[in-house]
Amino acid sequence: MKILVLNGPNINMLGIREPNIYGRETYKDLQNLILENAQGVEIEFFQSNHEGDLVDKIQEAFFKGIDGIIFNPAAYTHTSIAILDALKATKIPCVEVHISKVEERDAFRQISYVREACLKTITGEGLSGYVMALEFLKEYLK
Ligand code: DQA
């Protein structure tokens, strides 16, 4: 089983960016946490600050035979039809993750374009949300 952990803009700044919202752990800590919980699942990480790179990666995942995606599109959640269309085109089982509880934040964070192409959404669980998404996909894909 191969799972892509895909992160959008500013997730590389974890630990530095707004620690009151996103915590003090870094992107490296996030990668280590996921690898500790992988248990035989092959994990690929990709983070980009560029919308088109995320679209390219979703398409590449399809052609490579990736089984599932754990995806925090970050700010592109709220703006990107292109990313939604890539998920719809490839139909790769995807779980949407947000570190913060987006539903309790700004009005402009209440729209998620990607949600309709995702099996499940996890918000407000910090970095553990990614592990919860991994557990869900392991069960879903087996
Ligand atoms: C986020 C929430 C988004 O609204 C924000 O733009 C992010 C991170 C989260 O993980 O809580 O960059 O996706």
If 0-12 CB within 10 Å is exposed, 13-18 middle and 19+ buried, where does residue 95 land? buried
Domain boundaries, the chain: 2-141
Single pTM value for the model: 0.98
Do the Cβ atoms of 5 and 70 come closer than 8 Å?
A: yes
- For residue 101, give the 3-state DSSP assignment: coil
Q: How far apart are CA 3 and CA 133, in angstroms?
A: 11
Question: Which residue numbers are catalytic?
Answer: 22, 98
Give me the CATH code for the 2-141 domain, please: 3.40.50.9100
Tokens 């990709």 appear where? 46
- Which pLDDT tens digit goes with each residue over 64-118? 999 999 999 999 999 999 999 999 999 999 999 999 999 999 999 999 999 999 9
Nearest CA to ligand 1 atom 9: 98
Residue 140, pLDDT score: 98
- Which pLDDT tens digit goes with each residue over 120-141? 999 999 999 999 999 999 999 9
Ligand 1 atom nearest to 9, measured from its CA:
12
User: What is the average pLDDT across 43-49?
Assistant: 98
Binding site membership of 10 for ligand 1 (Cβ less than 6 Å):
yes
